[in-house]
Amino acid sequence: MKTIEKVVKDIQYRFPEGFWWGSSASAAQTEGAADVDGKGKNIWDYWYEKEPNRFFNRVGPQTTSQFYYRYKEDIQLMKELGHNSFRTSISWSRMFPSGKGEVNEKAVEFYNNVINELIEAEIEPFINLFHFDMPLELQKIGGWINREVVDAYVEYAKTCFRLFGDRVKKWFTHNEPIVPVEGGYLYDFHYPNEVDFRKAVQAGYHTILSSARAIKAYKELGQDGKIGIILNLTPSYPRSQHPADVKASKIADVFFNRSFLDPSVKGEFPIELVEILKEEGYMPVIEEGDLEVIKNNTVDILGINYYQPRRVKAKENLPNPEAPFMPERYFDHYIMPGRKMNPYRGWEIYEKGIYDILINVKENYGNIECFISENGMGVEGEERFRDENGMIQDDYRIEFIREHLKWVHKAIQEGCNVKGYHLWTFMDNWSWTNAYKNRYGFVSVNLDNNAERMVKKSGYWFKVVSEHNGF
């Protein structure tokens, strides 16, 4: 550990006092206990039963890191690694096995225990309500396409606020809400695996409405915390400054970033997006009073997830008029020569992107209070980096975090209202169809040995950074 101590001997990058150091996770990816203590099925439980071959090595959501049983030791480990905050989610189908109706008291007991354990360890709980895990019974009636599901979500949210809001002061309505829209209704990587742009638009609209209505409910309860949303913001960089490339990048930004960012923070939809939807004939069904609810119930705080940039160029060929409508009708993806890559995940590493996002939020979104809620590096086959003591020497992850934090620090120096940094993730977890292919955690989880935990080098590095509030 001497080399790690050396890193902070002369601190060059000092962060503001009270900076939120921690990590993020989700219920479906860590809890396990998928059919225990009254939990209902969500879409992942069902899809895995239906098509296990779609999941890496046929590993499903039952095989997770068993946080449901081991939360006490995991929270103690978070404390040891310098966490002062931790973001996770509540499982809607654990709280309400059918998505609505009677609350599951076993779930209430579990989440009370987790929240109390975190607070006792002096780790502030940041609680998210929806992280891709739609209850199966609600998906059967259409999921986010059906307005009844918005009503059910608001009741679920209100229940959580009433039960846990005396201790939880950081709430989030959704994590990466565009992902279930893209995955479920455009690009076939989430259940229900449909390719239907009209459904995608309606699901996205109802998700935004559900967020605004949950915020309204939270404010009406008069609780003294903050409520926000967590968005995966992916800067859209044009291939060149040619007007056609620049226009393509702006349209990509409207579809994938501003579609959720503008209504969440400003309370209004981007004019450019509305014009495209009208022109193409894909406007969602909007009921009277909806837009007023969205306008008047914007977020207090913004979580920002950043992994990679989006690079685009003008269309090089005319789209097939018979093909399903996709946002890519307006741009092509562009592979920049010489880009730095994480070869395991197939993602570009571009650290300055995190700074560009924060400057954009400062300049165009009222410098709203925000934090980096996810940033991380997934690597396959990390076992090969174990040393003679069994510790994974993940210097590549330390470099990844450090280089992103340098840009976060620069943004803070330039007045950005960014309050924290949470790594994805605390411990290696189950990651949707990728299962355990790529590992992201500060802590390794050995699935072959009773989910044994072992801290990686990056975990100890982060501990020192947190304790010194810089590096």
pLDDT at 5 over 60: no
Helix then strand then coil, in percent of the chain rounded to 5, is 45, 15, 40
Query: Which pLDDT score is estimated for 449?
Result: 85
> Residue 446 in 3-state DSSP?
strand
Number of domains in the chain: 1
> Which residues on neighbouring strands pair with residue 311, listed in sequence order?
237
Cα 269 to Cα 28, 207, 222, 246, 395: the distances in Å are 30, 13, 27, 21, 42
443 and 427 in contact (C-beta within 8 Å)?
yes
Q: How confident is the model at residue 6 (pLDDT cuts 50, 70, 90)?
A: low
| Alpha-carbon gap, residue 440 to 457, rounded angstroms | 13
Q: What is the mean pLDDT of residues 294-323?
A: 96
Q: What is the mean pLDDT of residues 258-271?
A: 98
Write the secondary structure of the chain as one string of H (helix), E (strand) and C (coil).
CHHHHHHCCCCCCECCCCCEEEEECCHHHHCCCCCCCCCCCEHHHHHHHHCHHHCHHHCCCCCCCCHHHHHHHHHHHHHHCCCCEEEEECCHHHHCCCCCCCCCHHHHHHHHHHHHHHHHCCCEEEEECCCCCCEHHHHCCCHHHCHHHHHHHHHHHHHHHHHHCCCCCEEEEEECCHHHHHHHHCCCCCCCCCCCHHHHHHHHHHHHHHHHHHHHHHHHHCCCCEEEEEEECCCEEECCCCHHHHHHHHHHHHHHHHHHHHHHHCCCCCHHHHHHHHHHCCCCCCCCCHHHHHHHCCCCEEEEECCCCEEEECCCCCCCCCCCCCHHHCCEECCCCCCCEECCCCEECCCHHHHHHHHHHHHHCCCCCEEEEECCCCEECHHHHECCCCCECCHHHHHHHHHHHHHHHHHHHCCCCEEEEEEECCECCCCHHHCCCEECCCEEEECCCCCEEEECHHHHHHHHHHHHCEC
Could you give the dihedral angle defined by the CA atoms of residues 24, 366, 250 and 276, in that order, rounded to the nearest 10 degrees? 100
Query: Which pLDDT score is estimated for 51?
Result: 97
Query: Which pLDDT score is estimated for 3?
Result: 54
| Alpha-carbon gap, residue 212 to 235, rounded angstroms | 24
Q: How confident is the model at residue 344 (pLDDT cuts 50, 70, 90)?
A: confident
| Alpha-carbon gap, residue 163 to 172, rounded angstroms | 15
Q: What is the CATH number of the domain that holds 231?
A: 3.20.20.80
Query: Which pLDDT score is estimated for 451?
Result: 85
Residues contacting 340, CB < 8 A, separation 6+: 348, 349, 350
pLDDT at 110 over 70: yes
Q: Which two tokens stand for residue 115?
A: 């929240």
pLDDT at 7 over 80: no
Q: Which two tokens stand for residue 458?
A: 């990056």
pLDDT at 8 over 80: no
137 is catalytic: no
403 and 306 in contact (C-beta within 8 Å)?
no
Mean pLDDT value across the chain = 96
Q: 414-462, pLDDT tens digit by residue?
A: 999 999 999 999 999 999 999 999 999 999 999 888 889 999 999 999 9
Q: What is the mean pLDDT of residues 392-415?
A: 98
Catalytic residue among 176, 182, 351, 382: 176
| Alpha-carbon gap, residue 309 to 339, rounded angstroms | 11
Q: What is the mean pLDDT of residues 141-162?
A: 98
Q: 362-388, pLDDT tens digit by residue?
A: 999 999 999 999 999 999 999 999 999
Query: Which pLDDT score is estimated for 447?
Result: 87
Catalytic residue among 31, 117, 124, 374: 374
371 and 358 in contact (C-beta within 8 Å)?
no
Give the residue carrying structure tokens 């072959």. Answer: 448
Query: Which pLDDT score is estimated for 84?
Result: 98
| Alpha-carbon gap, residue 106 to 68, rounded angstroms | 11
Residue 404 is part of which domain span?
2-468
Eight-state DSSP code of residue 95: H
Q: What is the mean pLDDT of residues 179-190?
A: 97
Q: How confident is the model at residue 155 (pLDDT cuts 50, 70, 90)?
A: very high
374 is catalytic: yes
Query: Which pLDDT score is estimated for 136?
Result: 98
Q: 10-60, pLDDT tens digit by residue?
A: 899 999 999 999 999 999 999 999 999 999 999 999 999 999 999 999 999
